[in-house]
Amino acid sequence: MSGKEKTTVKAVIDGRQCEFPQGITILEAAKSVGIEIPHYCYHPGLSIAGACRMCLVEIEKIPKLQISCYMTVGDGMVIHTDNERVRRARKAMLEFHLVNHPLDCPVCDQAGECGLQIYYMTHGNYLSRLKENKVKKTKKAVQIGQHVMLDQERCILCSRCVRFCQEISKSNELGIFQRGDREEIDVFPGTQLNNPYSANVVDICPVGALLDKDFRFKTRVWYLESAESICPRCSRGCNIEVHYNLAKPWKNEGRRLARLKPRYNSEVNDWWMCDEGRYCFKFVDEEDRIEEPLIRTESTVRKTSYKEALELAAEGLRSIAAATDKEIAVLISPRAANEELYLLKRVFSDQLPGTRLVFSSATPFEPTEDEILRKKDKNPNTKGAGLIGLSPDSADVWQLSDLKDAILAGEIGALYVCYHDIPGLPEELSAGWAGAVERIGLVIYQGTNHCATSEKAQIVLPAAAFAEREGTVTNFQGRVQIQRRAFAPLCEVLPGWEIMQSLGAALGGSYAFGSAEEVFAELAENELAFAGLSYEIIGSSGCVANGAKV
Amino acid sequence: MPQVKLISRFFEIENSHQLSVYEQNGGYSAARRVATEHWAPEKIIDTVKASSLRGLGGAGFPTGVKWGFVPRDHEGPRYLVVNADESEPGTFKDRHVMLNAPHLLLEGAIIAALSIDAKDVYIYIRGEYWEAFRVLERAIEEAGQAGYLGQNVFGSGHTVKVHLHRGAGAYICGEETALLSSLEGFKGWPKLKPPFPALKGLFSMPTIINNVETLSYVPIVIEKGPEYFASLGIERNGGARLFGVSGHVNRPGVYELTLGSPMRELIYEHAGGIRQGRQLKAVIPGGSSCPVLTAGEADKVNLDFDSLAGIGSMLGSGGLIVMDETTDMVNVLCRICKFYSFESCGQCTPCREGTGWMTRIMERIVSGRGRSRDLDDLLEIAGMIFGNTICPLGDAAALPVTSFINKFRDEFEARVSNGSVAAASSPLNAEEL
């Protein structure tokens, strides 16, 4: 690569001689060499406000302290981020931030992850000398949108939320009203904070001024643990953190999964995620989770073990395979991870060759899409299914309409449904399906929650939800990303790949994968699109599959 | 030194705000010359530089140098903005200029616009100055009809359009970048610098912002020659300026003096001395944000930028607030603090929170509930604000606190220990200021 010369500047930060790319701010430069400069209003995804003044640093030969979020590193600069003068200024700025703050930490949901608490411990640590009354603000604990609660007196007016609504969601609901220390963040008269990305303002609010209505008062954040994952709600595959509470199981009505938070990935979602994705996790701890395998006859439903359920399933499937006038069909879902899809393909082609593979990306969700993050395809792994050869792009894979025709023609003797609930979809997609399903002699349903299909199925196999198992999904860009297991599945529930492996065994095959990672290793060997990939290579931020590269 | 009559001569001419009267007194000859003789921008700028005219809004930056910052090779519009948002307590000179010599301002604006090749001039006038607004509005109309403004000024082919915009009463909009934000239709919040307005100002275009009085001197500089103007003052502090004197003097008003004149002369001769024969106690020299001077300092100092800087204060906007021996300095400081916390725009933390905090401490002291540690706390808070804010409002709020407490510490100590006893005997209600 010639032509464009890379220019750098040399500067001394806290006594260390460093080299930085030209144009980098002091704050970012310091971060890159491991020096954290405290800040409230600065956010790397937003424009520079320069308002909180927490990030003041001293630059030799410049008389005033400068805000490091805005000032770029100049060649030959000697910068002090932690000398006496800077520390004093920082402490002063922190004291100012707390002058009108109510200090109601014991009843504030932000406690434990609050910028004021954190910086007080690291940069403040002074005794209060404030005798004055605090300025009274108008709104305390007022809902300003579907997901967001506003508490004006906790607000430090960093304007991050306002800038988010101007620059990222471009919906401009929030503004700063009044002047001086009477200033208040609020929605403009007659509007509500209801843009599709509204809850991001909660993430970027450094204090407890904007809180997530859904998460509020559910559990203290210090009880939460975190696992890296990928949002399962659409084909963008936003990088997320799954925050879950196992320490205090009586909190939050026993729900383990407390909230989803976006995780930075510059290639996928930057710092953000949409509200649809953020609140899609409820099904994981819902009452209607399928906890044990079920066997249904015309008059009874009984709980059973995987062993019995799978043996019964294998028996049923084999008998249809042996029949000359009936076919087996498998309805594949792009909600499944690559590992499960790969094993599904292998098990059925090994053990029940001739099985009809049917693919559908239908979901009950509205096909919302925009220029920011949301994609029309509401499945996390449509691209992965395609790369494994399970999408209708492959000549021998049917579409939903083909399946329906075959069912109505009486050709389908057994249907293995993965996650899909076609009869439960909106009218235009589900018309005629309820009756169609009833015409099939053997319906096996594998999924996470009870639904119209599971209510009809003769055999129901519970599957682990995305937060309960490990697996990779491939987003619309072809980026393979890992969903880590946050917590163990409910009861004895198995991950999808293990169900497939066990079904394969019940059908007479021999599969001995010990983990999803092992399945992926074989997948990478056998599927050209995934060649060269491994969990290690994919890592935290994902890796584009070779087969997906243009 | 006697008063000079450069701008102020129009204060004495009847109906000087009318175009015909202004022209009978030599008006528009400077702008006509510059436009019809097609002076190169460099020539205008060099002339103003040679006059040593400095920004009279308060900062005192050399005017010609400022104009020279506009990049010559810029493609697209450039703007001249006239800062007529005169709001600093104690300052009222610009109002006099606009009421009595609106055409002088317009003439200066035409010349300045030509120097930076700006086709549009925005006058941002303080909302409360409705009378000056009317007068200016009429003057712009008259000048337009006469062909001095608009598409072909003085038949020279140059275009200079003047737009008059009323502020909504926020002090902060007198800060030049806040003024630009307000003019652009946003909340009047100062912008981060750099970039400076001369490179990226109004609507992101190169912009020069000048005070009313500064621009009003420009036709005089052209007319009488830069050497004459510079010779009026002293070295590096050339020319003259308008001083607004208010407070406890016998003849408050606007007086035009050459720079370097003794403050004593202004107070005791031109402004008629202290009312009722009382003793001088203190002077705020250039608008309420400038550090206060004791009577001793005021007696000796001369009215120029460098002399006042030399004793740790500022010439600022030239608005002197004179206080006699009966003045309660604690009340005065409390009133000043109230003003700055009321007017703080709230954008950056130290000013937003600090001004209110200082005000509440001062109010507590005035109400007789002061603590002995309050004075040191106030000094420290002022120090925490000073130099750490986006715009100079923070400094403007901090400097009075520091100077009042340091120079009149005994009075503050007494109030803190005696409580409200002193408050009752104060003849000067702070609300008067």
User: What pLDDT does B432 receive?
Assistant: 45
Q: Is B384 on the interface with A (CB under 8 A)?
A: yes
Name chain A contacts of B355, Cβ cutoff 8 Å: 180-181
Q: Is B92 on the interface with A (CB under 8 A)?
A: no
Provide CB contacts within 8 A for A454, sequence distance 6+.
A290, A294, A421, A445, A447, A460
Instruction: Give pLDDT tens digits along chain A (550 positions).
Output: 444 566 999 999 999 999 999 999 999 999 999 999 999 999 999 999 999 999 999 999 999 999 999 999 999 999 999 999 999 999 999 999 999 999 999 999 999 999 999 999 999 999 999 999 999 999 999 999 999 999 999 999 999 999 999 999 999 999 999 999 999 999 999 999 999 999 999 999 999 999 999 999 999 999 999 999 999 999 999 999 999 999 999 999 999 999 999 999 999 999 999 999 999 999 999 999 999 999 999 899 999 999 999 999 999 999 999 998 999 999 999 999 999 999 999 999 999 999 999 999 999 999 999 999 999 999 999 999 999 999 888 888 999 999 999 999 999 999 999 999 999 998 888 888 888 888 899 999 999 999 999 999 999 999 999 999 999 999 999 999 999 999 999 988 999 999 999 999 999 999 999 999 999 999 999 999 999 999 999 999 999 998 776 4
Name chain B contacts of A180, Cβ cutoff 8 Å: 341-346, 352, 355-356
Least CB-CB distance to B341: which of A50, A95, A181?
A181
Closest CA of chain A from B58, distance in Å:
20
CATH for A294-367+374-548? 3.40.50.740
Q: Is A132 on the interface with B (CB under 8 A)?
A: yes
Residue of A303, A293, A324 whose CA lies nearest to A506: A293
Name chain A contacts of B170, Cβ cutoff 8 Å: 179
Residue A398 and residue A381: Cα distance in Å, rounded?
18
Give the Å distances, CA to CA, from B339 to A103, A322, A464: 28, 92, 64
Q: How many CB atoms lie within 10 A of CB B127?
A: 16
Which CATH number among 3.40.50.300, 3.30.70.20, 3.30.2010.10, 3.40.50.460 corresponds to the domain A129-285?
3.30.70.20
Chain A, residues 181-220, CB within 8 A of chain B, namely 181-183
Which residue of A46, A156, A179 to mutate against B (max B Cβ within 10 Å)?
Answer: A179
Q: Which residue of A has its CA nearest to B364?
A: A132
Interface touch A178/B388, C-beta < 8 Å = no
Interface touch A183/B388, C-beta < 8 Å = no
Residue A331 and residue B381: Cα distance in Å, rounded?
70
Q: How many CB atoms lie within 10 A of CB A405?
A: 13
Least CB-CB distance to B353: which of A54, A70, A99?
A99
User: What pLDDT does B430 receive?
Assistant: 47
Interface touch B356/A99, C-beta < 8 Å = yes
Name chain B contacts of A96, Cβ cutoff 8 Å: 349-350, 352-354, 357, 384
Give the Å distances, CA to CA, from A102 to A66, A99, A367, A450, B210: 29, 8, 43, 46, 43
Name chain B contacts of A181, Cβ cutoff 8 Å: 341, 344, 346, 352-353, 355-356
Rounded to whole angstroms, the maximal C-alpha distance in chain A is: 90
Q: Which residues pair with B391 in a beta bridge?
A: none
Block residue for tokens 């007194």 = B25
Name chain B contacts of A183, Cβ cutoff 8 Å: 346, 352
CB pairs under 8 A, 24+ apart, for B9-16?
A: B10/B100, B10/B101, B10/B104, B11/B96, B11/B100, B11/B101, B11/B254, B13/B100, B16/B100, B16/B101
User: What pLDDT does B433 receive?
Assistant: 44
Least CB-CB distance to B355: which of A51, A129, A180?
A180
Helices B349-366 and A84-99, interaxial angle, to 10°? 70
User: What pLDDT does A436 receive?
Assistant: 87
Interface touch A53/B389, C-beta < 8 Å = yes
Residue A151 and residue A144: Cα distance in Å, rounded?
10
Least CB-CB distance to B344: which of A52, A133, A179?
A179
Q: Is A100 on the interface with B (CB under 8 A)?
A: yes
Numbered ranges of CATH 3.40.50.740 in chain A: 294-367+374-548
Residue type, A436: A
Burial class (CB in 10 A: 0-12, 13-18, 19+), A453: buried
- The phi, psi pair for A450, rounded to 5°, reads -65, 145
Domain A8-99: state its class: alpha beta
Q: How many CA atoms lie within 13 A of A140 on its CB side?
A: 10
Closest CA of chain B from A142, distance in Å:
22
CATH 3.40.50.920 fits B9-232, yes or no: no
Q: Which residue of A has its CA nearest to B351?
A: A180
Provide CB contacts within 8 A for B225, sequence distance 6+.
none
Closest CA of chain A from B192, distance in Å:
7
Interface touch A178/B187, C-beta < 8 Å = no
Query: Which pTM value belongs to this model?
Result: 0.94
DSSP per position, B315-342: -TTSEEEEEETT--HHHHHHHHHHHHHH
Least CB-CB distance to B192: which of A50, A52, A129?
A50
Q: Is B387 on the interface with A (CB under 8 A)?
A: yes
Interface touch A133/B342, C-beta < 8 Å = no
Numbered ranges of CATH 3.10.20.740 in chain A: 8-99
Name chain B contacts of A162, Cβ cutoff 8 Å: none
Chain B, residues 154-193, CB within 8 A of chain A, namely 170, 172, 187, 192
Q: Is A5 helix (H, G, I), strand (E, B) or coil?
A: coil
Which residue of A72, A96, A99 to mutate against B (max B Cβ within 10 Å)?
Answer: A96
Name chain A contacts of B172, Cβ cutoff 8 Å: 179
Q: Is A177 on the interface with B (CB under 8 A)?
A: no
Least CB-CB distance to B192: which of A48, A157, A181?
A48
Interface touch B187/A182, C-beta < 8 Å = no
User: What pLDDT does B166 receive?
Assistant: 97
- Domain positions in chain B are 9-232, 240-324, 329-432
User: What pLDDT does B215 receive?
Assistant: 98
Query: In this predicted complex, what is the ipTM?
Result: 0.93
What's the pLDDT tens digit per position in B331-386?
999 999 999 999 999 999 999 999 999 999 999 999 999 998 999 999 999 999 99
Q: Which residues pair with A412 in a beta bridge?
A: A327
Averaged pLDDT for residues B149-173: 96
Answer yes or no: are the C-beta atoms of A495 and A364 closer than 8 Å: no
Averaged pLDDT for residues B388-395: 96
Q: Which residues pair with A494 in a beta bridge?
A: A463
Which residue of B192, B342, B352 to mutate against A (max A Cβ within 10 Å)?
Answer: B352
Domain covering B240-324, topology: Ubiquitin-like (UB roll) (3.10.20)
Interface touch B347/A51, C-beta < 8 Å = yes
Name chain B contacts of A94, Cβ cutoff 8 Å: none
Closest CA of chain B from A192, distance in Å:
21
pLDDT at B233 over 90: no
Q: Is the dihedral of CA A150, A153, A159, A162 positive or negative?
A: positive
Interface touch B353/A64, C-beta < 8 Å = no
Averaged pLDDT for residues B84-104: 97
Residues, chain A, total? 550
Block residue for tokens 């809180």 = A211
Interface touch B349/A178, C-beta < 8 Å = no
Numbered ranges of CATH 3.30.70.20 in chain A: 129-285
Closest CA of chain B from A143, distance in Å:
24
Task: Please provide the distance, in angstroms rounded to a whole number, between the alpha carbons at the two ends of chain A.
Answer: 21
Residue A39 and residue A169: Cα distance in Å, rounded?
23
Domain covering B329-432, topology: de novo design (two linked rop proteins) (1.20.1440)
Averaged pLDDT for residues B44-50: 97
- The phi, psi pair for B219, rounded to 5°, reads -60, -35
Q: Is A46 on the interface with B (CB under 8 A)?
A: no
Q: Is A155 on the interface with B (CB under 8 A)?
A: no
User: What pLDDT does A118 receive?
Assistant: 97
A-B contacts at Cβ under 8 angstroms: 93
